[in-house]
């Protein structure tokens, strides 16, 4: 398939990697929501809750790391467009059974391309930060389930992951 047949392709007609030209697309409000989870020992979750982690406020630091990561996505992902973000919101939820912390990141921009990569990068870095801050007491933590849960704006419109039907929402 050539790039003319697939306007979202990151390869030109000769198969060379390229940044997709979005110059002809209309600027629109874009939103993406991503989430992820880090499973941990019950004692680790309790120490996070109690603010008893030697390195400090785990979720506060992870929130700042997520925002910084969203802003740096264009430098981390080779063919990703650098985007001026209008908003990055980071929320954490503590889960008791099994013990875990879930992060949800909402990224917004007014641009010609979406912010899915910014939201997923931010969620990933937030979870890596939790791991880094807690690894001395729990090296067995497991990061997973990083995924896009919603996107809005642009030509493809609104999309939301459908958990009830078990599909990916496509």
- Rounded to 10 degrees, the C-alpha dihedral 58/62/64/67 comes to -170
DSSP state of 101: E
- Rounded to 10 degrees, the C-alpha dihedral 49/55/56/60 comes to -80
* Active site (annotated) includes residue 132: yes
How far CA 59 is from CA of 49, 87, 146, 153, 154, in Å, comes to 9, 19, 17, 30, 32
Count of positions (residues) in the chain: 170
Catalytic annotation, pick one of 6, 12, 57, 132? 132
Residues contacting 125, CB < 8 A, separation 6+: 65, 66, 68, 69
Q: Enumerate the active-site residues.
A: 132
């Amino acid at each position: 398939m050539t790039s003319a047949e697939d306007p979202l392709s990151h390869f030109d007609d000769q198969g060379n990697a390229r940044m997709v030209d979005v110059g002809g697309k209309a600027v629109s409000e874009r939103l993406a929501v991503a989430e992820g989870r880090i499973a941990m020992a019950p004692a680790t979750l309790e120490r996070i809750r109690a603010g008893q982690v030697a390195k400090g406020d785990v979720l506060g630091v992870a929130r700042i790391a997520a925002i910084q990561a969203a802003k740096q996505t264009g430098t981390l992902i080779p063919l990703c467009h650098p985007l001026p973000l209008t908003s990055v919101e980071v929320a954490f939820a503590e889960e008791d059974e099994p013990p875990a912390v879930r992060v949800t990141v909402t990224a917004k921009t007014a641009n010609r391309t979406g912010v899915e990569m910014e939201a997923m990068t931010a969620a990933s870095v937030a979870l890596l930060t939790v791991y880094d801050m807690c690894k001395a007491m729990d090296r067995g933590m497991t990061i997973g389930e990083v995924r896009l849960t919603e996107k809005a704006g642009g030509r493809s419109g609104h999309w939301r992951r459908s958990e009830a039907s078990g599909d990916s929402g496509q």
